[in-house]
Chain A
Amino acid sequence: MPLSVDQVLAMAPDAASAAAGRKLSSTKSWSGLGQNDDALWGECKGSAVYQVRVSCADWSYKCSCPSRKFPCKHVLGLMLMAAQDPAALPVGPPPQWIVEWLEKRQATAKARETRQEKKKTATMADPAAAARRAATREKRVADGLERLELWLRDLARNGLAGLEAKPFSFWDSQAASLVDAQAPGLATRVRSLAAIPGSSPDWPVRLAEGLGRTALIVQAYRRLAELSPAMQAEVRSLVGWAVSQDELAAVGEVVEDTWSVLGQVITDEDRLRVQRSWLQGRQTRRAALILQFSAAGAAFAEPIAAGTQFVGKLVFYPGACPQRARIVERGEAIELTGNAVAAPYRRDADATLEAGKMPAPLKAGEPASSLEAGRMAASPEAGRMPALLVGHDSPETFLSEVANITARNPFIERFLCVLNDVVPVHTGSGQWQVQSGNQALPLAGDGHWRLLALSGGQPVDLAGEWDGHALMPLGVMVGDRYELLPVA
């Protein structure tokens, strides 16, 4: 089992599920446990007997229980057991229901492909209809922006003071109107503004910034034609025009690398959960942000576990300084340590499907892909792999990178920040910073005791999310291991 217990627990939708999963992670509640290269399975006895299965390829799962939490406690229990005590799941031939499930998954994947093909041909077949649809939506978006601007003006006229007493519905009704106007990007933005009033002593500044940025997007969208193609794409996506998969495949930049998932921030906005996963390529040092949304407690479509790494391809959404990406192809996820080498994904996907087999992990030291034949082919004998976290040596160089990116794309508000050799310090009264030499960056939040404990007061390599004001630490290197930090 390449996943660690911490990573499994990180997948839990809430603390109660994690605790319940833990309770189910001993063999006594289970029967018919087993695993092979493709899947883990077992039957859990709850109020009925539930069939639980987990795919080893991408940690997707299915359970026959009626729970509406994803993953449910049975899935978590099974994965925890596999992480803690792999011997509890004997390797053996899968029962019929597992074979059927795997077959069905493959069928679904095929069906999706065919559907996409069909859609593509359909769109090509009737460009006039597509253009009509786009025009209708343009009109709606324009109306929506009109209403948003009116609302913003009202706020500026009546003043922001007292907004902390407004109910969520004050923001939500404006957001809902933007959803109706098919501008979901702005809708999410307005909803996230609702959390700012009263949240900290400097909330008026943060809210002024947030409203100001929203006004800028509205202006920029109105004058889209004056912008460069890259900025056009950026602004359109901020408003909420989704880039279709085909479009993305056509124009997006594809980067192949061993990707480290350095951290994950999940925020709850009313019924919508937003997940930000920060990735860094070990070769390219490229930062990538994978955004996922889920409504009403459903699982995120792509299971991404913080603290893992995988070999794979990401495609970056077009824009100026592309940051947002999605996963195109990937191999097995393994624990994020300096020495472990992630197995490659199988290139010939069709062959994989036909054989009905998921790729087998490579042994450490074997060249994992053509890319790794270069710098990363280092076997343990041949010497160490390049360090896991390589970033900025000082706060100053990081901030100047932020300045550079902002100059090219003023709409990027969050950055992956990797710092080498910084010392965390508690400067008193709940204030924290990380230091290097005579410079420091402030840390967001006030509970960084775990970071301090892990550092022992020595310089550490650290990854975090910079929001323009402060750094939220996501993880830290401890010896050869990458330790995730609790994200407040």
Chain B
Amino acid sequence: MEAITKQLLVGTSRLGGAAKLEAGEVEALLAQVQPVDQEMRLLLTAGAWAAYGQAGRKPLAAVPLPEPAPETDRPVVSPRAARILEAMFAGEHRDLLPEALERVCAAGLRLPEHLLPKALDCPDEKYRPYIARVLGARGLWLSRFHPAWAWATMTVEAGSETMPADAEEIWDSGQIRLREAVLRQLRRQDPARGREWLAGSWAGEKAENRGRLLAVLEVGLSGEDEAFLETALTNRALRVRAQAAELLVRISGSAFLQRLCERADACVSFKPATAGKITSRLKSLIGRKSSGELVISVPQDVDAAWKQEGIITAPPQGVGPRAWWLSRIIGLVPPAHWQERFNLSPAELLTATIAEEWETAVLKGLTEAATLHDAREWFGPLWDHWMGAAGLRKDESLIGTDRNEPLGPLLARMDPEDANRRVEQLIREERSTPFSWFRGLECLPRPWTPEVGRAYLAHVRDRLKKAPRVSNVEIQTLDLAARALPPECFDEALREWDVPEGNDYTLQYWRSQLEKFTEVVLIRQRFVKEVGSV
């Protein structure tokens, strides 16, 4: 057949002489066909050989079989759940995947076989940790046949309690996410060795990875890490220096912490309240008893060492450099330092009078410090102070570029029950605070508690009823709520929404947002029904 194909490829016009046919049998057949020319002879021979070839095909040789998949595995999800997941993998509401896969994992189930290639092909790295946990033994087995799926085994190993056997290999050549994971594990078991690994590869790390890997030293942090962190303080990248500083201040007795406290003490001092002072009397009139005054004196300029040690960055727009330095430095000092130094409780300290120009800087710094040092006894008083502080400036300039700072992280650190209660209260009270209820919702862990969900839905329904034509933030929160409402609130969320007739822009916006909202809630509801709300 090949010889004939070659002749056909070239064409008889370029062949010169007669076409060469190899088969005697075919030749005999051709003798019966009249008239026959070169071209037809070639074509008919090709046709005959095609049929001969088809009849004479031989099996290929077998290759050694790979090890089959383990026989015992978790049960698979129901066909309906599988179909919902299939649509998500195909890109329909892909952002619901983490929640859905988490539910699959919690129910002790795994993905069905036919979805495995799609799941393993998932291009978006952020879903991979969730996928890895529901692949089951079959999925992991499958992933070993395709180089692009190697992430699966690595992710499972990196996320397990024990160190993977090929931890060093992952550390040397894995993706940054997996390297972080093995480093975290190693730090849990053997902090010194983890530090050595990082120190060993430090010089060769990409600048953007250094900060991420350095942050892992938070696990098992101790005085032994100080020397390495001090060297990181001299790094060129600001992010690395800031990260090193944040770790060093959490090592009690570190030289850096001492230097920092000395600098902070030079800026802040406390004058206890003396009877008769006008401000304190005024404050007691409106119900806030001042404990005294925090006296602030920030130097006109800061020395190079401050800047180098990562504390100082250029202030955001609209913030004076000195206020910025102050908030940065207070943000690093453990809040307990002030308690000891001034012998005051958090609540007492927060009632101290502060000159207006420094007030927000101090408050913001303290909030950041409480979050950084996990100073839980400060969380409640700080929150109440921000929310209740009468006369607190509504100016958000110090809040920085991320509009959720610094209260968002504080909320996220809080005991979930406390956090939920506080946000619920914000929704119910409907008053203007420096940190709005919808920002609180963004920071809450998902899914929300049923209480928060109900308060939210009641509030939004109320707004729709009372002022449907007023453009408002509630409409924009529907996107978030559709994904964060807990299963307990699904029925209430799906109850008929009464958008009045009319074609105003706002009404149409309500309608389109509510339609999307309902669609997402319905998908989640169907999935929960299939997999269980575990």
Contact = CB atoms under 8 A, between A and B. Distances in A.
A264 B128 CA distance: 34
Interface in B145-187: 145-146
A157 B12 contact: yes
B237 to A, nearest CB: 42
Interface string B1-41: 11011001111111000000000000000000100011110
A447 to B, nearest CB: 8
B8 A160 contact: yes
Contacts of A210: 50
A452 B145 contact: yes
Contacts of A458: 68-69
A457 B8 contact: no
Interface string A182-220: 000000000000000000000011001111111110010
B67 A212 contact: no
A28 B496 CA distance: 11
B47 A204 contact: no
Contacts of A440: 59-63
Contacts of A28: 518, 522
Given A205-B5, A213-B50, A478 B57 contact: no
Residue of B11, B37, B50, B522 most packed against chain A (CB within 10 A): B50
A456 interface: yes
Contacts of A399: 57-59
B37 A160 contact: no
Interface stretch (A60-68, A124-132, A269-277, A425-433): A425-433
B47 A215 contact: yes
A470 to B, nearest CB: 10
Interface string A452-471: 11101110000000001100
Interface stretch (B109-117, B213-221, B430-438): B109-117
A216 B44 contact: yes
Interface stretch (A235-243, A289-297, A405-413): A405-413
Nearest to A478: B113
B391 interface: no
A106 interface: no
B10 A159 contact: yes
A370 interface: no
B43 A441 contact: no
B83 interface: yes
Given A19-B92, A215-B43, A395-B59, A423 B12 contact: no
Given A450-B117, A478-B113, A413 B60 contact: no
Contacts of A158: 11, 13
A478 B5 CA distance: 42
A437 interface: yes
Contacts of A439: 59-62
Contacts of A234: none
A84 interface: yes
Given A205-B5, A435-B65, A457-B66, A442 B44 contact: no
Contacts, number: 184
B12 A435 contact: no
A404 to B, nearest CB: 8
Nearest to B13: A157
B5 A208 contact: yes
B113 A456 contact: yes
A397 to B, nearest CB: 10
Contacts of B62: 433, 435-440
A227 to B, nearest CB: 13
Contact of A209 (B42, B50, B65, B142): B50
Residue of B48, B51, B146 most packed against chain A (CB within 10 A): B51
Contacts of A118: none
A425 B65 CA distance: 7
Interface string A39-52: 00000000000000
B8 A204 contact: yes
Contact of B146 (A5, A208, A449, A450): A449
25 contacts: A84-B83, A159-B10, A159-B14, A161-B9, A161-B11, A212-B43, A212-B50, A215-B46, A216-B44, A395-B60, A399-B57, A427-B63, A433-B62, A435-B63, A436-B62, A437-B62, A439-B60, A449-B142, A450-B117, A452-B145, A453-B114, A453-B116, A453-B138, A456-B68, A468-B53
Interface of A: 4-5, 19, 22, 26, 28, 84, 149, 152-153, 156-161, 204-205, 208-216, 219, 394-396, 399, 402-403, 406-407, 410, 413, 423, 425-427, 433, 435-442, 447, 449-450, 452-454, 456-458, 468-469, 478, 483
Closest 4 pairs (CB-CB, A-B): A159-B11, A212-B46, A212-B47, A457-B68
Given A19-B92, A216-B47, A453-B138, 8 more contacts: A5-B83, A84-B80, A156-B11, A157-B12, A211-B43, A427-B63, A449-B145, A450-B117
